[in-house]
Chains A and B, each alone.
Chain A
Amino acid sequence: MHNNGNSVSYLDYKGKHSGIFAWILSTDHKRIGLLYLMSTLIFFAVGVTLAFFMRLELIAPGRTIMDPQTYNSLFTLHGIIMIFLFVIPALPAVFGNFFLPILIGAKDVAFPRLNLLSWWLLVIGGLLAVISVFLPGGPVDTGWTFYIPYSIRTNTNVMPALIAAFILGFSSILTGLNFVVTIHRLHAPGMGFFRMPLFVWSLYATAWVQILATPIVGITLLLVVFERAFGVGLFDPALGGDPVLYQHLFWIYSHPAVYIMILPAMGVISEIIPVFAHRTIFGYKFIAFSSLAIALFGSMVWAHHMFTVGMSETAQVIFSLLTFLVAIPSAIKVFNWVATLYKGSIQTDAPLLYALGFIFLFSIGGFTGLIQGALSVNMHIHDTSFIVAHFHYVMFGGTGFGIFAALHYWFPKMFGKMYNMRTAKTGFWFLFVGFNTLYFPMFVMGWLGMPRRYFDYLPEFHIYHFISTIGSWILITGLIIMFTNFIKALRSKTTYTKINPWGGETLEWSIQNTPSLENFEVIPTITAGPYEYKDNDEILVKEDN
Chain B
Amino acid sequence: MSGEQSASAEHNTVDHKPTYGIYILVWLVLMTLTGVTVAVAGINFGNLTVATALTIACIKSYLVLTFFMHLKTETATFKIFVAVAVLFLLISISLLFSDYSFL
Q: Is there a contact between chains A and B in the complex with CB atoms less than 8 Å apart?
A: yes
Question: Which residues in window 77-96 of B have CB below 8 A to A?
Answer: 77, 84-85, 88, 91-92, 95-96
- CA of A271 to CA of B95 in the docked complex: distance in angstroms? 35
Shortest Cβ distance from residue A204 to the other chain B in the assembled complex, whole angstroms: 12
Contact with A along B60-103 (1 / 0, CB 8 A): 00000000000000000100000011001001100110111111
Residues of A near B100 (CB, < 8 A) are 312
Given contacts A186-B1, A208-B84, A523-B2, contact A252 B92 (CB under 8 A): yes
Contact for A318 among B3, B77, B85, B95, CB less than 8 A = B95
Q: Is the CB of B1 within 8 A of A523?
A: yes
Q: Mark B1-42, 1 if CB is under 8 A from A, else 0.
A: 111110000000000000000000000000000000000000
- Chain A residues with CB under 8 A of B103: 312
Bound CA span A523–B101, Å: 56
B95–A212 contact, CB under 8 A?
no
Let me know if B99 and A189 touch, CB within 8 A: no
* B85 & A189 in contact (Cβ 8 Å cutoff): no
Q: Mark A225-255, 1 if CB is under 8 A from B, else 0.
A: 0000000000000000000100010001000
For chain B, what secondary structure do more than half of its interface residues adopt (helix, strand, loop), or is it mixed? helix
Q: How large is the interface on A (under 10, 10 to 19, 20 to 34, 35 or more residues)?
A: 20 to 34
Q: Give complex CA distance A523, B1 in Å.
A: 8
- Docked complex Cα distance between A252 and B85 (Å): 14
Are A312 and B102 in contact (CB-based, < 8 A)? yes
Interface residues of A in 185-227 (CB under 8 A from B): 185-189, 208, 212-213, 216
Give Cα distance in the complex from A544 to B35, angstroms.
77
Task: Tell me whether B98 and A312 are in contact (CB under 8 A).
Answer: yes
> A185 to B100, alpha carbons, bound, how many Å?
42
Evaluate whether A212 and B85 lie within 8 angstroms (CB atoms) in the complex, with A300-B95, A311-B99, A315-B102 already known.
Answer: yes
Tell whether, in the assembled complex, residue B98 and residue A212 are in contact, meaning their CB atoms are under 8 Å apart: no
| Contact (Cβ within 8 A) B99 A312 | yes
Find chain A residues with CB under 8 A from B92 CB.
Answer: 216, 252, 299
Q: Are A189 and B98 in contact (CB under 8 A)?
A: no
Q: Is A359 an interface residue (CB 8 A)?
A: no
Question: In this assembly, does A29 line the interface, its C-beta being within 8 Å of a C-beta of chain B?
Answer: no
Minimum distance in angstroms from B5 CB to a CB of chain A = 7
Output the least CB separation between B75 and chain A (Å): 10
Contacting B at CB under 8 A, from A308-324, are 311-315, 318-319
With known contacts A186-B1, A216-B92, A523-B1, A313–B102 Cβ distance under 8 A: yes
* Total A-B residue contacts, Cβ distance less than 8 Å: 53
A317: nearest chain-B partner, CB-CB: B98
The answer on a CB contact under 8 Å between B4 and A318 is no
- The count of residues in chain B whose C-beta lies closer than 8 Å to any C-beta of chain A is 19
A311: B residues at CB distance < 8 A: 99
Tell me whether A392 is interfacial, beta carbon within 8 Å. Answer: no
Q: Is A184 located at the chain interface by the 8 A CB criterion?
A: yes
Asked if B98 and A299 sit within 8 Å, CB to CB, the answer is no
| B-side contacts of A216, CB under 8 Å | 92
Q: Which of B2, B92, B99, B102 has the most CB of A within 10 A?
A: B99
Q: How far is the CB of A13 from chain B (nearest CB, A)?
A: 20
- Note all chain B residues with C-beta closer than 8 A to A303: 95, 99
Nearest-neighbour CB distance to chain A for B88, whole angstroms, equals 5
A169-189 CB mask vs B (1 if < 8 Å, else 0) is 000000000000000111111
Specify which chain B residues have a CB less than 8 angstroms from the CB of A300 in the assembled complex. Answer: 91, 95
- State in angstroms the CA–CA spacing of A19 and B103 once bound together: 62
Cβ contacts under 8 Å, B2 to chain A = 186-189, 523
Q: Does A107 contact B (CB under 8 A)?
A: yes
Identify B98's interface contact among A187, A188, A244, A314, CB under 8 A.
Answer: A314
Chain A residues, CB < 8 A from B91? 299-300
Which B residues are in CB contact (< 8 Å) with A315? 95, 98-99, 102
Give B102 Cβ to nearest chain A Cβ, in Å. Answer: 4
Per the bound structure, the CA–CA distance linking A149 and B53 in Å amounts to 34
Given the interface pairs A212-B85, A252-B92, A299-B88, the reply to whether A107 lies near B98 with Cβ below 8 Å is no
Residues of A within 8 A of B95 (CB): 300, 302-303, 315, 318-319
The complex places the Cα of A107 from the Cα of B99 at a distance, in Å, of: 48
List A83-122 residues whose CB lies under 8 Å from chain B.
106-107
Q: Contacts A300-B95, A302-B95 given; 4 further ones with Cβ under 8 A?
A: A212-B85, A252-B96, A312-B99, A319-B98
Q: Which residues of A contact B (CB under 8 A)?
A: 106-107, 184-189, 208, 212-213, 216, 244, 248, 252, 299-300, 302-303, 311-315, 318-319, 523
Q: Which B residues are closer than 8 A to A by beta carbons?
A: 1-5, 77, 84-85, 88, 91-92, 95-96, 98-103
A-B contact pairs, 22 of them (CB 8 A): A106-B1, A107-B1, A184-B77, A186-B2, A187-B2, A189-B2, A189-B4, A212-B85, A212-B88, A252-B92, A299-B92, A312-B98, A312-B102, A314-B99, A314-B102, A315-B98, A315-B102, A318-B95, A318-B98, A319-B95, A319-B98, A523-B1
